[in-house]
A and B are shown apart, each in its own frame.
Chain A
Amino acid sequence: MIEVLSADRCISCNQCVRICPTNVFQEVKNSIPIIARQSDCQTCFMCELYCPVDALYVVPNADSVEKIQEAAVIEDKLLGSYRERVGWGKGRKSTASDDESYLVLFQARAH
């Protein structure tokens, strides 16, 4: 579930509020948004992809909160790590063109 919204990085663009399909975030006047409905998070990681400043971190555990600390996430260089893999963001190239499903599915069929 979504666990980290870095106040240091957030620029209050509210993109996460706009794009979260389950409406987990809440816009706050004159401030950064908050994680208002954490239990509605479906762990789809989409918010990380749409955050332009890599301020969000989704823990892969879909069923319970792990209470991970922002410092630990930063130390492990995890903020922005999904967006980097997908190749979204300025100066990057989408890795959709590197999709090797044709090898994975081809082998699966031959299995």
Chain B
Amino acid sequence: MKITVCIGSSCHLKGSRLIVEQLQGLIKENALEDKIELVGTFCLGQCQTGVSIKIDDTLFSLAPEDTKSFFEKEALTRL
């Protein structure tokens, strides 16, 4: 599985760094380094609704404080 986090200007200001750091932590905690690839991207063209994030090809919009529940609900269930 590939999780892509937008690190463009808008998303950066809306907190993509906090999401990246939390996801890195969660992937490590659950020992999923082999199963989940975490990458960055510049601008997904959805700046208004950022932080933009993709699980494989599905687009989501995420706020930093919801990262943990998002990871449990959307990422873990798809593995």
Q: Please indicate whether A and B come from the same complex rather than being unrelated chains.
A: no
